[in-house]
Structure 1
Amino acid sequence: MSVPDHSLQQGGGPNLVNIDVMRNHSELFRAECLRLILETDKACKRMQNDDNKRLDQRVRDIQFLKKELELKLEEIIVEIDDLIAMKARVVKALEACKEPLRVTVLCVEERMKRLSSVRLHDDVDRELLKEREVFEGVASLLQRVLEQITEQIRLNRSAKYQLEQDLKEKSEAQCIDNSCALMTPHSINNLQKSKNTQTVLPSLAVTPKQWENISDINIAKAEQQKNNSVSLRALVESLLEQTATDMQKQVQATTAAFQLNTQEIKSAKSQMEDQLAEILSEFASQQRVREDLRVAITENEHVLSLAQARLALRRQRPAKEQCYDPAQSQLFTEVQQLTAHITKLCAAVAQSEEEQRALVRCQLELQENIEIKAHSLYIDEVICAQHREPVIIHNF
């Protein structure tokens, strides 16, 4: 800085020193402003770069969680579809139990119509009651399983809804952050001009960790419900196979009992029919024997009458001729023997009649039992068989 000229100061002119100081101060201030402008510009660019990096990182974080959510959503949708298909199988299996159960109850009722003398609790009755118990147990089990599947579908849909809501919010957040990343100072005016005047309530502030935990919780819930659903489907699959096997096994056991009982009834009926034929033959033979006995009695009575007539006639001989000669002795003996023969023949006729009455009782008893067997056979072999024939237990 030059030394002030005292002559100028003394001459009453402008204060050059002050002017020089002011000029220097202005120069320094201008330089400071230029430096401040450069620093501010650098800071703005640095902050914008940091903003863009943070926004890009945020968008990538959202995209990562969106992929996780989309993958889990796809899995839970597939699981819901599989569970709905399993529910349809259970409904079909439950419906398929109704007809076999109705047939079983009908067979039990039909067999109760048998005559009281054979209305006993046989193997067929026991197998039918077991069959009814199995079918009712299967129907009850399938009904409970159906309720469990329905509840699991509800839980799966609830998890699906949470994932969809989370994805929707993530998409909105991603769209907003992408818009933020693309914004420039020149685009703000256009944005403010096109901005909707609708008031939007501010959302609750959450930390990044809490924000991430929300999706993690939704994913974990969906994974848990998916695992529960998979386990339930495996259990139901096993139950359907086992129940179908149990029903088939019991139907086969009942059918075998019916067949064995039918064979036994047929065998007993055949034996009774053979016995009846023999009884009828014996009855006819007994009838013929009795007729022969009566013919023999008649013939012996004729011979006895002849001997008695001879004795009576010989009593008319003269007194001196009334000797007990061999002829007289023979006639007396003949009368006695013929009387004894006739008595035995009459007793034989009476015994024959008694035997014939016994045969008639046997005949009636056999005919009654044959009718009973035929009635039982008709119920088991015709009525029950017709009802049971179309009933086939398939794998559910």
Structure 2
Amino acid sequence: MSIQDRIPQQGNTVGPDLVNIEVTRNHSELFRAECVRLMQETDKACKRMQTDDKKRLDQRVRDIQFLKRELELKLEEIILEIDVLIALQSRVGKALEACREPLRVTVVCLEERRKRVPSERLHDEVDRELLKEREVIEGVASLLQRVAEQITEQIRLDRSAKYKLEQDLKEKFEAQSIDNSCALMTTHPINNLQRSKNNEIVLPSLTVTPKQWENISDLNITKAEQQKTNSLSLRALVESLLEQTAADMQKQVQATAAAFQLNIQEIKCSKSQMEDQLAKVLSESARLKRIRDDLQVSISDNEHVLSLAQARLTLRRQRPGKEQCYDPVQAQLLAEVEQLTAHISKLLEAAAQSEEEQRALDRCQLDLQENIEMKASSLYIDEVICAQHREPIVIHNF
């Protein structure tokens, strides 16, 4: 039933319906009071929501700042680790380069020693140490090459972790700037801005939860920390390898140098002994030649005496028949001829023997001279050529 239905009918009354007007006025007052209450509640709700928004935005900014600090700290650490690895990579490269010259020298020494005469081309201790030296240096170079590749790969992984941290930091900075701007915004400056923009509501399916958001940065930090740990382990390993390989090369180079020195001393000693023996052989050969000359003189003298005795015997055969008796003179002459013939025969044998002895001494002389020349050649290769090549070799710590 409407209000008009409840009002007593005064069909014949003329004038305004005061009751109806009063009801309308009261209704308007109630509506107005309700509007005031609604506006007050709305205003309170807006202020409360703005306050909550400000608190939540401030908290969000603090969360972002916290993660930013964590990311920045980890980024500084990974950048420092990359720089250290690059420096270590340079050291490994220099160490690898430092292996080239010793290896070249070792190969040259082996090739030079192959130029010795066949009789001197023995697989001696120096050759064994040189081959071992080549093996050690080639092993060190191969190991350093693999280490350099590992460092390069680790630098790549560190830079990948660095890139992800930088991207995360960039996004955190943008998010912080946006949330700071949101916290500073008021209703008046943005009314027109909000009307002009296409306010799209981000669908929940396209967003991440706060836990997922935090996990993304945590994952980047964890990966960076893992790569840093890997880098530290690799650096410790490389430092140890550099020290050990340098020590191994130094030890082998010293062993080869000691073998060279010992071999040089042995060659010098052998050469000196042969030179002494050669001097004695030459001296003996000279004395033997003098003896042979003396034998020839003696043979000639004895032949003259023999000729004289034979001439006397021939002449005495011309004595008259009765005078050809076997007297003491005849006996003496016959004995003299026999003795002189025996002496001359022995002297001739001695002369022939002296020639044999001379030929033997000559063979000894030639053999000694050839061996002295071979020893001198070997000594020159080891003491001069190889020493000149090996002199600059100094193995320092890499």
Q: 1:193 deviation in Å? A: 8.5
Q: Does 1:168 align with 2:187?
A: no
SS in structure 1 at match of 2:206: coil
Structure 1 distance, partners of 2:16, 2:324, is 225
Equivalent of 2:261, from 259, 262, 266? 259
Structure 1 distance, partners of 2:38, 2:189, is 26
Equivalent of 1:240, from 242, 265, 268? 242
Q: RMSD of the alignment, in Å?
A: 2.5
Structure 2 distance, partners of 1:157, 1:321, is 138
Structure 1 distance, partners of 2:349, 2:397, is 74
Q: 1:147 deviation in Å? A: 1.1
Which stretches in structure 1 are left out of the alignment for 5+ residues?
1-5
Letter matched to residue 27 of structure 1: E
Normalised to the residue count of structure 1, the TM-score between the two structures is 0.93
Other-structure match for 1:292: 294
Q: Spell out, residue by residue over 1:231-269, the C-alpha distance to the aligned partner (whole angstroms, 9 max, x if none).
A: 111111111111111111111111111111111111111
Alignment of 1:162-311 (within 5 A): 162-189=164-191, 191-192=193-194, 204-311=206-313
Other-structure match for 1:72: 74
Equivalent of 2:125, from 123, 127, 130? 123
Q: 1:214 deviation in Å? A: 0.6
Letter matched to residue 103 of structure 2: L
SS in structure 2 at match of 1:178: helix
Other-structure match for 1:3: none
Letter matched to residue 146 of structure 1: A
Structure 1 distance, partners of 2:314, 2:38, is 185
SS in structure 2 at match of 1:94: helix
Structure 1 distance, partners of 2:25, 2:18, is 10
> Is this contact kept in 2: 1:56–1:181, CA < 8 A?
yes
Other-structure match for 2:381: 379
SS in structure 2 at match of 1:316: coil
Equivalent of 1:360, from 359, 362, 374? 362
SS in structure 1 at match of 2:208: coil
SS in structure 1 at match of 2:397: coil
Identity %, equivalent residues: 79
The verdict on how the C-alpha distance between 1:230 and 1:35 changes in structure 2, with shifts beyond 3 A counting, is: same
Q: 1:37 deviation in Å? A: 2.1
Structure 2 distance, partners of 1:330, 1:183, is 160
Q: Spell out, residue by residue over 1:306-353, the C-alpha distance to the aligned partner (whole angstroms, 9 max, x if none).
A: 222222222233322322222222222221111111100100000000
SS in structure 2 at match of 1:394: coil
Q: 1:205 deviation in Å? A: 0.5
Alignment of 1:31-70 (within 5 A): 31-70=33-72
Equivalent of 1:326, from 322, 325, 328? 328
Other-structure match for 1:30: 32
> Is this contact kept in 2: 1:69–1:215, CA < 8 A?
yes
Q: Spell out, residue by residue over 1:113-149, the C-alpha distance to the aligned partner (whole angstroms, 9 max, x if none).
A: 1111111111111111111111111111111111111
Equivalent of 2:344, from 333, 342, 345? 342
The verdict on how the C-alpha distance between 1:247 and 1:190 changes in structure 2, with shifts beyond 3 A counting, is: farther
> Is this contact kept in 2: 1:9–1:15, CA < 8 A?
no
Bigger shift: residues 346-355 or 287-296: 287-296
Q: 1:30 deviation in Å? A: 2.8
Equivalent of 2:160, from 158, 161, 178? 158
Which stretches in structure 2 are left out of the alignment for 5+ residues?
1-7
Letter matched to residue 119 of structure 1: R
How many equivalent pairs are there? 391
Q: 1:24 deviation in Å? A: 3.4
